Chains A and B, each alone.
Chain A
Amino acid sequence: MKPLISISSLSFSYGVVPVLENITFAINPGDFIAIIGPNGSGKTTLLRILLGFLSPTSGKVQHAIPQEQIGYVPQRYTIDKNFPGTVREILGTEDSSLFKRTGIEQFVNKKFVALSGGQQQRVLIALALRQKPKLLFLDEPTAGVDIQAQREFYQLLKLLNHQGIAIVLVTHEVGVIPSLVKKVICINHQLCCVGKPSDIHHLLEKMYGPEFVVHRHKHKHSHEHQHGDSRV
């Protein structure tokens, strides 16, 4: 099976500051990958290189599919909160099957900025799906989205993956990963580990150290108790 994207010995630095060093992995058809790592670990930089917004300082990124077959869902915070466009205008289509597939048919005539976080993410997914992608990149898609909307959103991603779209998710939300993705890639400037989601605790321990995992678990339980959230 030929990879959709192959990344080999990729390094990137801002001036003299190294951000990514010697990263190698592949994205295959049907993959559902979560890229995780602490803040400032280079996750977003890696995503921007994979999307072609940045060029690696060294190493190779080989795309086996054209850019038209790659969908991108940016963080919704990057959208201007005064943008006056409606969902229908943003999508630029009357394709009711697309509206239904992404569960947005009830609010296509509303302004994008008037929607909840979860609804906005669905619209951004619908926009990416317009071009019938084989690979979908999502950058922190559920940041600031409530738990119920997060669950529904992840179910939508699961469905899209079952329909044959490879998905790469950059996220902080490790709580949902075991039930969702097929592969987890942990980075902290370097590739710390790649594994199955069932290994998630092991991977986190490897990435952050055992103390961190114990501490974060304590924190997670108290945080869930207070807010029902599960962020790392």
Chain B
Amino acid sequence: MVIPVFELFTYGFMQKALVGGTLIALCCGLLGPFLVLRRLSLLGDGLAHLSFGGIALGLLLGVNPLISALITVILGSFWVRSLVKKNVYGDAAIALLLSLGVGVGVTVIGVVRGFNVSLYSYLIGSVLTLSPLDLILSSLVLLAIIFFLTYFYRELFLNTFNEELARFSAKRVAISDLLFTLLTAMMVVIAIRAVGILLVSALIVIPTLISLNLAKSFKQTLFFSSLSAFVAVMVGILVSYGVDTPPSGSIVLLLFAGFMVTELIKRRK
């Protein structure tokens, strides 16, 4: 039976999915370009995998898994920063983080049977089952990101352009870098609810790659990145509902298709 599209919007779960999906897409679309251009694409993936351990620990200890994931990921992101400052390779530090998260998660599953179903939903995401708490957290993170970009845009922009140069041309680079790390960790945790641990880096990286193929300026990069993440999440939710598949898969496949199309457009220019 085919449900008319407008009727879908009357369902509470669908309304929550579309609102939550929009908030999460905008978060990833706004921060993604800074991460990708600073060669931190895989940080999202590493933090997401670390959150697997945090979620498992949360389930084990009876703490809200989102809260435990948030704490774990924030601690992890600062740990990676300190390791990199001590001259550990960035990708190796991320691999270390990733392994730790999966190691903890798998061990907890082994010790306490019965969490498998809950953990599986975090692995592949479930934007159609967003709770009011998820929406509140996503709104707060998006607001924090907008506030951050409004007041620290110049520092973040120059730090992305050239880290050493930023130290000479902008005054609040250290604090902006700290806040950027914190917001990245928060963004990863809320994005897990939409696309899951396994695909969270796709929602951070692919919209940026699409925007880099289209944009003629940095601000356009932020715009196209947010727009492509938003369109992919909206269409992905509707398509997945129609064909009864997990939304995360549809979202990522749509983003991938978008990237291929923009690659062709770029090559024809």
| Interface SS of B by simple majority | helix
Per-position 1/0 for B16-48, Cβ under 8 A of A = 000000000000000001000100000000000
CB proximity of B90 to chain A, nearest CB, Å:
15
Residues in B198-257 with C-beta less than 8 Å from chain A: 211-212, 215-221
Give every chain B residue within 8 A of A83 (Cβ-Cβ).
37, 160-161, 218
With most chain B CB atoms within 10 A of its CB, the pick from A67, A90, A124 is A90
Question: Is the CB–CB distance between A92 and B37 below 8 Å?
Answer: no
A114 to B215, CA, bound (A): 13
Cβ–Cβ contact B165 & A84, under 8 A: no
Q: Which chain A residues border B13 with CB–CB below 8 Å?
A: none
| Residues B164 and A53 in contact, CB atoms below 8 Å apart | yes
Tell me if A100 is interfacial: C-beta within 8 Å of chain B.
Answer: no
Q: Is the CB of B161 within 8 A of A74?
A: no
Q: Name the residue on B nearest A71 (C-beta).
A: B168
Choose the segment among A3-11, A126-134, A157-165 that binds chain B (4+ C-beta atoms closer than 8 Å): A126-134
Residue B169 is within 8 A (CB to CB) of chain A in the complex: yes
Q: Please, which residue of chain A has its CB at the minimum distance from the CB of B38?
A: A80
Within 8 A of B (CB), among A99-124: 111, 124
- Contact of B157 with A by CB under 8 A: yes
Assess the A128–B216 pair: CB atoms within 8 A: no
Q: Interface residues, chain B, CB within 8 Å of chain A?
A: 33, 37, 154, 157-158, 160-162, 164-165, 167-169, 171, 211-212, 215-221
A72-B164, A89-B157 known; A111+B169 contact, CB < 8 A: no
Contacts of A49 in B (CB 8 A): none
Could you say which of B37, B162, B211 contacts A78, with CB atoms under 8 Å apart?
B162
Residues of chain A within 8 A of B217, CB atoms compared = 84-86, 89, 111
26 sample A-B contacts, Cβ–Cβ < 8 Å, listed by A number: A51-B164, A53-B167, A74-B165, A78-B164, A79-B161, A79-B162, A83-B37, A83-B160, A84-B37, A84-B211, A84-B215, A84-B216, A84-B220, A84-B221, A85-B218, A86-B216, A86-B218, A92-B154, A92-B157, A111-B217, A124-B165, A127-B165, A127-B169, A128-B168, A128-B169, A131-B168
Name B218's contact: one of A71, A84, A131 (CB within 8 Å): A84
| Complex Cα gap A85–B164 (Å) | 17
A205, B157: Cα distance in complex, Å = 45
Instruction: Give Cα distance in the complex from A35 to B169, angstroms.
Output: 23
Residues of the A chain whose Cβ atoms lie less than 8 Å from the Cβ of B165? 72, 74, 124, 127
A85 vs chain B, min Cβ distance (A) = 4
Verify if A148 is at the interface (C-beta below 8 Å from B). Answer: no
Q: Which residues of the partner chain B approach A53 to less than 8 Å between Cβ atoms?
A: 164, 167
Cβ of A100 to closest chain B Cβ, rounded Å: 20
Return the chain B residue nearest A137 by Cβ: B168
Smallest beta-carbon distance B198→chain A, Å = 27
What residue of chain A has the Cβ atom nearest to residue B218's Cβ?
A85
A82-B37, A83-B161 as given contacts; A89 in contact with B168, CB under 8 Å: no
Minimal Cβ-Cβ distance residue in A for B160: A83
Contact with B along A62-99 (1 / 0, CB 8 A): 00000110111010001110111110011010000000
A74-B162 CB under 8 A given contacts A84-B220, A111-B217: yes
